[in-house]
A and B are shown apart, each in its own frame.
Chain A
């Protein structure tokens, strides 16, 4: 159960970290958002492992076979954290966490009921033993190494979009 307040806090904090945020309730909604944010001609990687990824796949006209040759990745992630506006990406289930790192555009689908209120709740969910890789992603890749001027898109994605579904 995600309270409206939790969702609002997550979207606000993710937006403050320069992520694009979208909320959809059904497949047509997902299609509309994907057609707006992912150009139809770009090769897109979508693992198609979960129901929501399977729902997204038909709306991506140009699929890439792997993330290395894609300009965008559309995937469902493990969860999200309202406190920080972060996505929680994990390696469980054979998922390649670097699929959300190499392409210049990362589109993450978050299930509404997978939004944790706090960092503590998120890490408590791994109490049984963490998977090989857990990465909290908050906004696009950034640096201020040249004259403290913010530049977006260093080694990771230049654009991060979050779709709460």
Chain B
């Protein structure tokens, strides 16, 4: 798995991806399928706009008093038998998890899908310590076998076709080649079932954490999330701070929005609510539950002008409608989170110096804002980040010079008129020598400027 961020070469990454015809067609197919299914799934929801308002308000309420909710969650989860750890950054989260496993002599870890674990590059760290961290979501399992990273947050292996998966399973699992998705799924079921039953520990993320009861909430379709949280004796959950919701009474709103926005299902096959450890007389739940609450830059985002990105519930709807994402795919963005929400989160979490080209990866069309179930003003955030890029000195020198000259000219009527005169005079030259790239894109200067035509 590549742990190196490549957001700085976004343009080159994108150019490469655009030439990859099979990838483009897979991305387009995923985007179209989810886009259509999303629309169909919301069609019978009469009060969708009110539902989005409500979800947005709940998420804002959480952000306004995040520390309070986090403290309540930690207190209640502890009361229910869990051990809560707080990790300031990726490094300390990795250390905490590795230590929990090492102290219990746990070697094999089965993992449910978790973007946060990708964010902190957990697998590579555990493997370095001689532990096996096995992805069990089918898509994640496929790309782990190949040694790649997810290209889509909902369908991580969308860039692999059935023939590639068939050959991969034949080679790595020693089974007979088949390209039937149902048969391939059965092969994975069998291979992973043994792993679930033998694993020392299960590791999961969480879609939400209900503060009032200290509960973790997980949405899954395959059932692997249920496996990793109930079968091994030890369960470790890692989640970032902003996953809080006030209480389970708020969960129905998000059950109505998240699966519809993500895959166009009215609900996922499974929604699990886990509150603490197995209690005396019970037959369900891990004997030991550790919850790692990751900050990794969230507190800083919370106090800044782009705090609304923390409302995000990771549905991926903004990606499926984004004309840039649909064309260049998830890998081009060069870090864990792609697409419109990824542009904002990546630049904020990794810093402009590591990611500034991403703020150009948008047409500002606002399609993402139209579909966001929690009403994140993504276009406003892009503009704020563009201003920030200039402030922090990461804009291109030519652009900066050009803007300075234009600023001077625009402030002086005589200079502005001179500029208009020059552009009219030299237009034939520009047209003759500028070529398609320049002359074809520039508007032809008007013979009489607009302000002189207005009486």
Complex: chain B residue closest to A123, CB-CB: B248
- Contact indicator B270/A135 (Cβ below 8 Å): yes
Binds A, one of B137-145, B377-385, B424-432: B137-145
A148 contacts which chain B residues (CB < 8 A)?
29-30, 33, 155, 158
- Contact indicator A120/B252 (Cβ below 8 Å): yes
* Known contacts A131-B275, A143-B222, A148-B155, A156 near B270 by CB under 8 Å: yes
B224 contacts which chain A residues (CB < 8 A)?
154-155
Measured CB to CB, the closest approach of chain B to A84, in angstroms, equals: 5
Would you call B186 an interface residue if the criterion is a C-beta within 8 Å of the partner chain's C-beta atoms?
yes
Q: List A residues at the B interface (Cβ < 8 Å).
A: 13, 17, 68, 84-86, 91, 94-98, 101, 118-120, 123-124, 126-127, 129-149, 151-157
A144 contacts which chain B residues (CB < 8 A)?
155, 263
Within 8 A of A (CB), among B273-299: 273-279, 281-285
Tell me the complex Cα distance, A137–B285, Å: 17
* Known contacts A84-B267, A142-B269, A148-B155, A101 near B230 by CB under 8 Å: yes
B251 contacts which chain A residues (CB < 8 A)?
119, 123
Tell me the complex Cα distance, A82–B339, Å: 35
Within 8 A of A (CB), among B193-231: 193, 196-197, 213, 215, 221-224, 226-227, 230-231
Q: Which of A91, A130, A137 contacts B283 (CB 8 A)?
A: A91
A149 contacts which chain B residues (CB < 8 A)?
162, 181-182
Complex: chain A residue closest to B160, CB-CB: A146
Q: List B residues at the A interface (Cβ < 8 Å).
A: 26, 29-30, 33, 80, 136-139, 142, 155-158, 160-162, 165, 181-182, 184-186, 188-189, 192-193, 196-197, 213, 215, 221-224, 226-227, 230-231, 248-249, 251-252, 255-256, 263, 266-279, 281-285
- Contact indicator A97/B267 (Cβ below 8 Å): no
Q: Which of B155, B196, B269 contacts A141 (CB 8 A)?
A: B269
Tell me the complex Cα distance, A142–B263, Å: 12
- Contact indicator A155/B181 (Cβ below 8 Å): no
- Contact indicator A133/B284 (Cβ below 8 Å): yes
- Contact indicator A124/B249 (Cβ below 8 Å): yes
B221 contacts which chain A residues (CB < 8 A)?
141-143, 154
Q: Which of B137, B160, B249, B276 contacts A120 (CB 8 A)?
A: B249
Chain B CB within 10 A, most for which of A17, A135, A141, A149: A135
Measured CB to CB, the closest approach of chain B to A35, in angstroms, equals: 27
- Contact indicator B223/A141 (Cβ below 8 Å): yes
8 interchain pairs, CB-CB under 8 A: A123-B252, A132-B282, A136-B267, A143-B185, A146-B165, A147-B162, A154-B223, A155-B227
A136 contacts which chain B residues (CB < 8 A)?
255, 267, 270-272
- Contact indicator A101/B269 (Cβ below 8 Å): no
Tell me the complex Cα distance, A112–B324, Å: 50
- Contact indicator A133/B249 (Cβ below 8 Å): no
Tell me the complex Cα distance, A144–B188, Å: 13
Tell me the complex Cα distance, A120–B185, Å: 34
- Contact indicator A156/B223 (Cβ below 8 Å): yes
